[in-house]
Structure 1
């Protein structure tokens, strides 16, 4: 069956081709056949047309005894039996130059004997391929819903189906309108509240129709006009005194495209160190004059957009490389100072220890050494210190040694030296401190007492279990204080005598 000649066969006893499709201007064949006429007498065939709206009408009648007849109808002159003369068992008809108004129900009715009337029904569907189109409606950004796109399927038969595909937030309304020749025009509008963000979004109108192999799509882009939206880039919050060639850029978007850019400050005038080049503002050298707020104004047909940035001028920051050198120098200096301080502390400590045991007299080489006996007296009453000459008083002798000579002398607090020689060797003569010497020790000044008390424990004689006397150097200020030193470390004995626990230098 071709599009130029559509043939429909209707089978009585419910074997029927229910529908025939045709376009305006074509020729269609509506075929009717009686499948089993055995035992039945076919007397007459009548074709009846029943439009969607209106009354039924006969369009073709055939009786085997008469010629075919075509009553008055919209199809008269265009309808005929095929073949001609018709076959009573297959009385098909043909309609030429079909119109959209020819669409409807066609009934093939048999008058039989003795069964009575039999009929079959065929539907003629007229198709009209629509003219489809879609367009964008340019709108301004606002707060109320407006039509942003339209889609139309004109003069189609049957009515087309229109749908929208988009990410924009809106909805569609569709209307139908009956056109010429029983065609239908479908119109759809997409409505939404337009925003600047919607400008350029994709939206597609999709038209589906029976005459099309597949739906037809119309891709579009929304067109929303809005005033310029402006931003300023380039400020890094590090504008320091003396910095050169810093640039601010005025970036703007808008529909239509912005046509002017204006730079200014909140005070109105731009500093002399600023150069303007279209959307760029260049600061040749940062100084106090650019410690201000810069404003960029952009215009288009819809309106004006503005943006501003406040520049804060700072003091120059320390170069990280120089900072490392300075930090290294400072740390090195501190370490050197600490090393020197430690060395000085060691030397001072050593010197103090030597001065506690020995203090030289710049005017004399004489050193006076006083040896003390042990804390405990021996059973025979003599001191335990080596070098002491037997005496029954447990008191330590006083020795005076002259470094300039090779003999050992005996000294008392009055500084009387009595060197003796026996057999070519220096002899030692002991002198027992008197009660006056002991009493004079109470008059020892506080400074000398503190120095004496600061002696380290290991230098005291009472840390030794025995052995010879301990030698300590004492300042040779005056021999008169010998007894004072003795008294500071004297210990009374049960027999009434007093002995020294520590040797003292004077």
Structure 2
């Protein structure tokens, strides 16, 4: 393809220009026919093999092979020459005595060389240069890289807390080839700088320094130096802790603002954060001498018993190599508490609880008794006898009570305690009813038929207690003021039934118990 291109160019060019273009084109293309390793690495003291070959020799005559060493400054030095007729030759060079053709005897098609006991200064370019006919010279270049595993180390530099940025840590990767790469990892707020130095043997030492404004809070923080190098399988991490020196930071603890006269076994503690460690801790009293009840031991001030002499300001002074710092606390002694002791409080609580329980029990007992008495009413003699005591028996009433007629409109029986009722027989008129009940006006108390006892009379019989008497009074008061549309109260009762069903002058099933414990007739109406 290249030669076709050259011929096409020749058609357009004439003379020497066409010949020159053809030669340059052929040389650029045929230079790729020399086969070498692009790069080779080695450690000092090892033996290396620089390979070179010319596999395609069709139409080309190999006249000579020359190995050239090119330094990093660009200088070229012949180190080995091979002629098909005269054999190998090794001109003076930095590798003379350590270089030779391999295999032996060498061949023009594969003139590889070997260098023993390589040094760091041997690093550079090695050129395998073929002199051919008719194509001219053709080359292949190998880059030799010398490796040296560095010696890595890190250290922290003790510094005093201040306001200016200083070096607090240093990391060194010494005598490495190629130069190492260094990074830092830490929570401290700072940055780093780096510098490199090449030694005579071509190794490089890299130094990195970490800088920050030192503070007491940075003391003890971890800082890691990370070194990355070609000779290492992984990144090497070297961890250290920062050392920041500072004067003591002092605080006094233990005062709860409740020191009262008579209180015992209270103490103050002097806490100090410092680097280096404190050399002394001294307690002082602003009032002069230390109170007799105070016992000082190291960083603790113990008060055996609080009294008025403790009412002062205590000072704790801590000293180290960097400086001296103090803190103070003012004690205010209070009067003793007037409240009862804990035992008295507990006893009072127990007694109060018992009294409260007794009060509740008494109240419950009263309520239960009152409820039972309301439910029992007047059942002292049971059943029909109760009705007899309240309303009176028929026969007994006829003897002791006022005699009356048994006709319609009259009072049934002679019981003076019986209620008034009116016969509902059709021949009885309103006028006859009014013979027993006087008309009353609104708001006035109606008159009661002579000889008929009222509820008040029953209560006065001394068979009921005061509570029941009050209830009957209220009931009588309420029932006395029932109002009707007419001018006089209308009282109607059912005709009396047969005497066999009567209890006294009232029907057996006519009685009805009330909520207040009383028993009244269903047909009788009190006015």
**Is residue 307 from structure 1 mapped to residue 293 from structure 2 by the alignment?**
no
Matched, 1:71 2:91: yes
The equivalences for 1:168-207 within 5 A come to 168-207=188-227
Cα deviation, 1:255-298, whole Å, max 9, x if unaligned, reads 11111111112323321100011111111111122122222111
Indicate the residue corresponding to 2:180 in structure 1. 160
Partners in 1 of 2:110 and 2:229 — Cα distance?
A: 35
d(CA) in 2 for partners of 1:224 and 1:218?
A: 19
Using a 3 Å threshold, how does the CA distance of structure 1 residues 36 and 327 change in structure 2: closer, same or farther?
Answer: same
Correspondence list, 1:7-86, <5 A? 13=33, 15-86=35-106
Measure the CA separation in 2 of the matches of 1:209 and 1:78: 29
- Answering whether residue 312 of structure 2 is matched by residue 281 of structure 1, we say no
Asked whether the 8 Å contact 2:98–2:115 carries over to 1, the reply is yes
Offset from partner CA, 1:422-481 (integer Å, 9 cap, x none): xxxxxxxxxxxxxxxxxxxxxxxxxxxxxxxxxx99999xx7899xxxxxxxxxxxxxxx
Is the partner of 2:88 in helix, strand or coil? Answer: coil
Once the two structures are superposed, the pairs formed by residues 219-230 of structure 1 within 5 Å of their partners are 219-230=239-250
How has the CA–CA distance of structure 1 residues 154 and 457 changed in structure 2, closer, same or farther, with 3 Å as cutoff? closer
Conserved? CA contact 1:133–1:151, under 8 Å = yes
Deviations 1:387-411 (A, max 9, x none): 89xxxxxxxxxxxxxxxxxxxxxxx
SS at match of 1:181: coil
| Cα displacement (A) at 1:39 | 3.4
Q: Distance in 2 between matches of 1:291 and 1:132?
A: 62
Structure-2 residue corresponding to 1:490: none
1:22-421 alignment, distance < 5 Å: 22-314=42-334, 315-316=336-337, 318-326=340-348
C-alpha distance in 1 between matches for 2:447 and 2:166: 125
Distance 1:237 1:334 in 2: 38
For the residues of structure 2 that align with 1:65 and 1:459, how far apart are their CA atoms?
A: 163
Distance 1:332 1:113 in 2: 131
TM-aligned CA deviation for residue 386 of structure 1: 8.2
Distance 1:167 1:102 in 2: 43
- Where 1:242 maps in the other structure, the secondary structure is coil
Unaligned runs of 5+ in 2: 1-30, 367-436, 452-472, 483-487, 489-527
Q: 2: distance between equivalents of 1:464 and 1:87?
A: 153
Decide whether aligned partners of structure 1 residues 122 and 335 sit closer, same or farther in structure 2, where only a CA change above 3 A counts. Answer: closer
Quote the offset at 1:303 in angstroms: 0.9
Gaps of 5+ in 1: 1-10, 344-373, 389-455, 467-506
| Distance in 2 between residues matched to 1:167 and 1:14, nearest whole Å | 55
Q: Deviations over 1:16-59 (max 9, x none)?
A: 42111122232222111112223322111011111111322222
How far, CA to CA, are the matches of 1:58 and 1:384 in structure 2?
162
What is the deviation of 1:108? 0.5
More moved, 230-239 vs 220-229: 230-239
Q: What is the alpha-carbon root mean square deviation over aligned residues?
A: 3.5
Q: TM-score, normalised by structure 2?
A: 0.60
TM-score (norm 1): 0.63
Is contact 2:37–2:50 with CA below 8 Å preserved after alignment?
A: no
Deviations 1:299-323 (A, max 9, x none): 1001112222333333225434523
- Give, in angstroms, the shift of residue 69 of structure 1: 2.2
Q: In structure 1, what is the Cα distance between the partners aligned to 2:240 and 2:356?
A: 75
Deviation at 1:192, TM superposition (A): 0.6
- Quote how far apart the aligned CAs of 1:129 are: 1.9
Q: Deviations over 1:90-118 (max 9, x none)?
A: 10112222222211111101112233222
Q: Secondary structure at the residue paired with 1:305?
A: strand
Contact (CA 8 Å) 2:102, 2:111: kept in 1 or not? yes
Say if 1:330 and 1:83 are closer, same or farther in 2 by CA, change over 3 A.
closer
Q: Give the Cα separation in 1 of the matches to 2:135 and 2:72.
A: 30
Indicate the SS of the match to 1:68.
strand
On the 8 A contact 1:127/1:211 being kept in 2, the answer is yes
Contact 1:150–1:187 (8 Å) recurs in 2: yes
Is this contact kept in 2: 1:258–1:300, CA < 8 A?
Answer: yes
**Post-superposition, which runs of at least 4 consecutive aligned residues in structure 1 deviate over 4 A?**
327-339, 374-378, 383-388, 456-460, 463-466
Q: 8 Å contact 1:251–1:279 — kept in the other structure?
A: yes
